[in-house]
Structure 1
């Protein structure tokens, strides 16, 4: 028997072990990359959910009737849930109120007035039922969460909404 036959078999076995280790390493790297990309996609979805909630609140404020706008500027807090079939559902999101069709993402907004700012050059009348134009400072908070991945985003934007403030309320 030739001793080289056993050596060739041993070298072939070592090469197979090395290739197997490379294959296992490649699979682990691929699985890690898959987890990272899933996390990035979930984070992007939560970010967009919070921004969508803010956009819906802004559009509702922009299209409000005079009476509803007057009530809101008078101190009402507006809370809305963004649901796939009703993007401006009144109140907080309930158990089945999901933004997406897969039932992963919940998004809501809360809007409130945080004071006002006088407009430069505006006239203030102190007689009768006078009033002046002011810029109301409105804060909109958009909140989005994905419970499956235990992540969420809270975005806050402030906008100015012009309206009339009675002179009696100016201090």
Structure 2
């Protein structure tokens, strides 16, 4: 079957170009790899895309490769771990094989990434850590417009198959 195809799932605010040196090096080895442009990156004014929108975008890319019979490895970076994990519903190779289909996700590589349980919102990953392991952080809300809300980014509750 050959090597699996790889999809890089970027961190928050990261454009695919950030990963171009990796894409170039892996491509030279004869492996198909692509860094995705998530809907939440560079969004236009209006209702901001959510983690679920990012997961749906990733799932479309996975499905296209899987339907072509390709095994897929997701390489998630930072925030990309959350929508990457959510995107695999019905797309794992084992799940697809049970239905007589070829291809599907065979691995997820979490690189300096959030590693949620299937169906777990990104925010709860950090909330579940022991307090002594947390890095102090603060957000200066005065720099955001009054209509800005993190709430859409923190909502994610899709049921995933195993």
Settle same-fold status: TM greater than 0.5: no
Q: Tell me the TM-score normalised to structure 2 length.
A: 0.29
Q: Which is richer in helix?
A: 1
Q: Which has the higher relative contact order, 1 or 2, with Cα contacts under 8 A spaced 6 or more apart?
A: 2
Which is strand-richer, 1 or 2?
1
